[in-house]
Amino acid sequence: MAIETLNVKMQGDATSYQRMLSQAQAATQQAAASIQRAGLQVESMQQRLIRAGVSLQTAGRNIQSAGRSMAIGITAPIVALGGASVRVFARFDQAMTETFAKMGRVSPEVREQMEGVAKSLSMSGEVAFAPSELAKGYEELASAGLNAERAMAALPITAKFAQAGAFSLGVAVKQLTGALASYGITTQTTDPVKFAREMEHFSDVIVGVANETTTGVEQVARAMSADAAVAAKQYGASVEELGAILGVFALQNKDAEEAGNLTGRAFRLLTGAFASKKKLWLEMGMDITDGAGNFIKFADAIAVLEKGIGGLSPEAKVVALKKLGMATLSQKAILPLIGQSGELKRQEALYRKTGVTIDMAAIQMESFANRMKVTRNHLLVIAEEMGKSLAPVLIFISGKIRELTRWWIVLGPEVKRAGAVIATVAAIIGPALIVLGTVMLTGGRALSGIVVVVGVAGGALLTLAKVVLLVLNPVKLFSAALAGLLVAVKFLAL
């Protein structure tokens, strides 16, 4: 009876415990499934966070790139080009304004025409001077007394003369106008077209002397602008004759002011001696005048002198020249020319050639440096035109700035402070965009760090789910073992 009672109790307890274990197993499986779903959700969240982080970083980089591209690719070049154009226009406009300060006011149409001549000449390839340099040439011509019409006619030949001699326009203008004035060719009394032709004529002779001798264009021009041209005009010599005398002196290493002064003294010494000792000259068979009382060509006069004293010894020549009215100390101006009449005639004929200046300038322009300057001039003209277009806008803005300045001065302190705050806010908008892009980029990187943490957590949850599922195996084994034990006990009780 006791054994039967024990059997009943143990059987009841085993059934209850087995039911409890089954319930525990089901609950554990549900928990493991929930944990596994949570892990999968975390993995999904990790992927979304990764994509969000990448998008945020991309957006940050795009904003930064857009800001830099706008600043570097568009804003900076436009500002630089605009600033350069305004500076080029300012230099050209300043030179033209200084020209009219000396020349006097001209109509807008004449000014436009003068500017067009300078720009066209700078781009022609005939000279390497920039537009602003040619505008400065106008100023030099105005200083020499040329009006607008004469200056436009004279600028091209003056620029070519300067190009041929490789010196500045200022020097070219002074030398040419000085030589012309010495010959009585003035800007006030000469037709503009004729004046330009005379400038070209003088320029051709000067460049021709430089080509024929070892001296330079500037040195010949300086010699001609000294006493030489005045004395030649008084004698009645042509420009070609003057050039020949300067050329002969140049062959003897005498140039610039020295040659000019010697030439002037030679003219005066010859004419003065003949006038003071005319009877003696005629007695010696030497007449340097024509039937009308004018002096013959200088080379012919030297030839006459050579014929009269050519056979004498050097010492006897000095004595003879002194008797003819030429003081001993002054003879150094005439002695180098005696025996050179043939060379004087040869060079005089040579200097009648025209177009010499243009040819020499063209040779100078063949150099690489000058060709690049012509290209530069084209760009400068474009820049000047752009600057000219911007100038009215800048003038308008500057006027508004002056008005704003006057308005600001009379404002109260509180309004000025408020204005300062507004200006500060406006000033930081641009930098703020770059900062925003940087912050977004940094945020994206931080989000990527969070993604890593979340990924670790998701992995841990999945691991936990697996562990829980593994734990279920011992429970099943224990339940089976207990059930087997109960069956065994029941069997023994029978």
pLDDT computed for residue 299 by the predictor: 95
Helix axes 76-103, 148-165, angle to 10 degrees: 110
Per-residue tokens: 22: 């089954």
Burial grade of 456 (CB within 10 A; 0-12, 13-18, 19 or more): exposed
pTM above 0.75, yes or no: no
Burial grade of 372 (CB within 10 A; 0-12, 13-18, 19 or more): exposed
Integer CA distances (angstroms), 351 to 49, 345, 468, in order: 92, 10, 118
Helix axes 239-251, 192-212, angle to 10 degrees: 20
pLDDT computed for residue 58 by the predictor: 73
- DSSP-assigned states of every residue in 140-180: HHHHTT--HHHHHHHHHHHHHHHHHHTS-HHHHHHHHHHHH
pLDDT computed for residue 82 by the predictor: 73
Please write down the long-range contacts of 296-301, taking CB distance under 8 Å and 24 or more positions apart.
297/237, 297/241, 297/348, 298/235, 298/237, 298/241, 298/244, 298/245, 298/267, 298/270, 298/344, 299/241, 299/244, 299/341, 299/344, 299/345, 299/348, 300/341, 301/270
pLDDT computed for residue 433 by the predictor: 56
Give, for all 494 residues of the chain, the pLDDT tens digit: 444 444 444 444 556 656 665 776 676 667 667 666 766 666 676 676 677 667 666 766 676 666 666 556 556 666 676 778 888 889 999 989 999 998 888 999 999 999 999 999 999 999 999 999 999 999 999 988 888 988 999 999 999 999 998 888 888 988 888 888 888 887 776 677 888 889 999 999 999 999 999 899 989 988 988 788 899 999 999 999 999 999 999 999 998 899 999 999 999 999 999 999 999 999 988 999 998 889 999 999 999 999 988 788 888 888 989 999 998 878 899 999 999 999 999 999 999 999 999 999 999 999 999 999 999 999 999 988 888 888 788 888 878 888 888 877 877 787 777 767 776 765 676 566 566 656 655 655 665 555 555 555 556 655 655 555 555 455 554 555 555 555 555 555 55
**At a CB cut-off of 8 Å and minimum separation 6, what does 314 contact?**
none
